[in-house]
């Protein structure tokens, strides 16, 4: 299954997550990151909780979400520097 087909099947729920996650989190000491789908259609914003086993775990108002790194580009000061992690440095 392609990345595009995965995101197209879940784009509405992910869009809802983006809207809900845009508000400030109550999580103290948060390290906000932005994960953008490789096709640019979906952006998730949350607090970076963990980066391990090739996946980001971010905390959102809906709970913790696990996103495989190969599906997204990470933007934010808290983005881990690791092989295979792509960064979006556009302003």
Angle at Cα 4 formed by Cα 24 and Cα 43, nearest 5°? 10
Residue 46 CB burial class (10 angstroms; 0-12, 13-18, ≥19): buried
Q: For the chain, give percent helix, strand, coil, nearest 5.
A: 25, 35, 40
Tell me the mean pLDDT in the region 60-65: 89
The pLDDT value given to residue 68: 96
**Contacts for 66 with CB less than 8 Å, ≥ 6 apart:** 55, 56, 57
Output the six-digit token pair for 84: 């295979």
The pLDDT > 70 percentage for the chain reads 56
- Measure the CA–CA gap between 19 and 27, rounded to whole angstroms: 17
Tell me the mean pLDDT in the region 6-34: 53
The domains found in the chain, sorted by start residue, are 3-75 (2.30.30.100)
pTM assigned to the model: 0.58
Q: What is the pLDDT of residues 69-84, one digit of tens each?
A: 999 999 999 998 755 5
């Amino acid at each position: 299954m392609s990345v595009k087909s995965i995101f197209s099947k879940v784009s509405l729920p992910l869009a809802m997550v983006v809207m809900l996650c845009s508000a400030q989190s109550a999580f103290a000491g948060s390290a906000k990151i932005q994960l953008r789908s490789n096709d640019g259609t979906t952006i998730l914003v949350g607090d970076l909780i963990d980066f391990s086993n090739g996946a980001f775990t971010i905390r959102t108002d809906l709970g913790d979400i696990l996103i495989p790194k190969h599906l997204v580009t990470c933007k934010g000061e808290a983005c881990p520097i690791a092989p295979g992690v792509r960064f979006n440095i556009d302003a």
